């Protein structure tokens, strides 16, 4: 195990440093769901089938992929089940959930632009959205909070949640409890590509499931299905492997750095990268990784994930690190460089979220701080952003001219229309000014 992990530490002094760095950028993380065509035809077939046969097809795929037989009437979780799940959850957990919701709600309200007024534009919320919640072995209530709360702040009236029936043939009670806490009563025990297709095309037999926008994480099949239905509905983004990039110097605590790397790798798959200008920190962090790995129940699987999607890179200078970090455009970027952390953060142009200082691990953002943890992956932070309340509104342009204002602009408008050969456009202006 130790010899295998030693290979992830690479210094700029080694001849293959640039080659290994390129592999990190291209081979390891660049193959996101945008470019993964391995099962694309299968996903397209599922989406097409659901678009035609609706609930009947969803039921068949649920039985095939989740080994749960449901009739369309059984897709939707009842109000009684939601209430019971909320009643049964630990009261201390409810308290933590409520505080997390409040933190997210407060932050999303502060950054919301939909309340701003201007005579040339009007913002309106999207009417219905769908949220995909993964059905992992452990519940993911934070996914509901980080997607639903921004939508509620934006004024979305109706929210539908889908999650595969992986917990005793249904959805984990903790997820249901969070939905009830947020007053979301449209929850469906379906998942995968078939659930995405159902959100896009809907079926009256199972309730009003068709939505206008789909958000939330999921496996490759879910992400590829979102790609297929984009245009029929809007989507947030297409996400790949979750990742953290840590920028640290010799002032960082190597034990904490290792812990933060492992916290991301445990997603399995998850990626954890360390960029540093300190050989000593790199070696100490590697030693700490090995020590902490030995205390994990899934050490073998985590080690494999580190080897395939991890790395410790020693650069010649912090300037080189910043340049590579901007090229890398990580989903999560931690900066642990003492009192220079904030200054370094100001030089980062591409990242989903930046965590500044020794006491800001990714987990703070995942559950508590306020920004949504739904973030761009696979270098897409160069053009995608974190999910916010502003992603759930649309703008309507408002144009209102009177006769005098039209007359003042008429010659220019006519000239532009005629150069494009659009005679009727030009005449629609002329006819108003004749006589």
Looking at the annotation, which residues are catalytic? Answer: 331-332
CA distance 193 to 223: 8
The answer to whether the peptide bond before residue 269 is cis (omega within 30 degrees of 0) is: yes
What is the phi/psi pair of residue 71, to 5°? -90, 160
DSSP assignment of 29-42 equals TS--TTT--TTHHH
Work out the number of other CB atoms within 10 angstroms of the CB of residue 114.
17
Asked if residue 292 has a cis previous peptide bond (ω within 30° of 0), the answer is no
Angle (CA) 356 109 382, round 5°: 50
- List residues bridging with 275 in a β-sheet: 247, 313
DSSP state of 409: H
Rounded Cα–Cα distance for residues 364 and 366 (Å): 6
C-alpha to C-alpha distance for 349 and 325, rounded to whole angstroms: 9
Instruction: Measure the CA–CA gap between 329 and 307, rounded to whole angstroms.
Output: 21
């Amino acid at each position: 195990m130790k010899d295998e992990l030693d290979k992830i530490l690479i210094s700029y002094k080694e001849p293959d440093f640039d080659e290994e760095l390129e592999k990190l950028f291209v081979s390891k993380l660049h193959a996101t769901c945008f470019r993964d065509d391995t099962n694309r035809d299968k996903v397209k077939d599922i989406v097409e089938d659901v678009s035609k046969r609706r609930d009947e097809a969803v039921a068949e795929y649920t039985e095939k992929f989740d080994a749960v037989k449901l009739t369309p009437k059984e897709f939707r979780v009842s109000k009684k089940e939601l209430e019971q799940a909320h009643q049964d959850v630990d009261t201390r957990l409810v308290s933590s959930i409520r505080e997390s919701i409040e933190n997210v709600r407060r932050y999303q309200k502060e950054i919301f632009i939909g309340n701003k007024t201007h005579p040339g534009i009007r913002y309106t919320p999207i009417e219905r959205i769908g949220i995909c919640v993964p059905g992992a072995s452990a519940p993911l209530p934070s996914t509901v909070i980080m997607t639903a709360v921004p939508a509620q702040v934006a004024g979305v009236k109706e929210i539908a949640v889908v999650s595969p029936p992986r917990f005793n043939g249904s959805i984990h009670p903790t997820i249901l409890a969070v939905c009830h806490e947020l007053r979301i009563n449209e929850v469906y025990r379906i998942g995968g590509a078939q659930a995405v297709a159902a959100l896009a095309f809907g079926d009256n037999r199972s309730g009003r499931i068709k939505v206008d926008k789909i958000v939330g994480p999921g496996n490759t099949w879910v992400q590829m299905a979102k790609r297929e239905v984009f245009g029929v509905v809007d989507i947030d983004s297409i996400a790949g492997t979750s990742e953290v990039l840590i920028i640290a110097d010799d002032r960082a605590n190597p034990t904490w750095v290792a812990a933060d790397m492992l916290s991301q790798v445990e997603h399995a798959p998850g990626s954890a990268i360390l960029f540093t200008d300190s050989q000593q920190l790199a070696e100490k962090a590697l030693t700490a990784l090995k020590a902490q790995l030995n205390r994990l129940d899934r050490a073998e699987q985590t080690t494999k994930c580190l080897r395939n999607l991890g790395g410790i890179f020693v650069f010649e200078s912090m300037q080189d690190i910043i340049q590579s970090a901007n090229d890398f455009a990580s989903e999560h970027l931690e900066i642990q460089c003492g009192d220079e952390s904030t200054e370094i953060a100001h030089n980062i142009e591409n990242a989903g979220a930046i965590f500044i200082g020794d006491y800001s691990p990714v987990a703070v953002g995942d559950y508590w701080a306020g920004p949504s943890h739904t973030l761009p992956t696979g270098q897409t932070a160069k053009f995608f952003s974190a999910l916010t309340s502003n992603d759930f509104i649309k703008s309507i342009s408002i144009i209102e001219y009177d006769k005098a204002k039209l007359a003042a602009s008429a010659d220019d408008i006519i000239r532009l229309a005629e150069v494009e050969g659009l005679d009727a456009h030009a005449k629609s202006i002329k006819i108003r000014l004749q006589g």
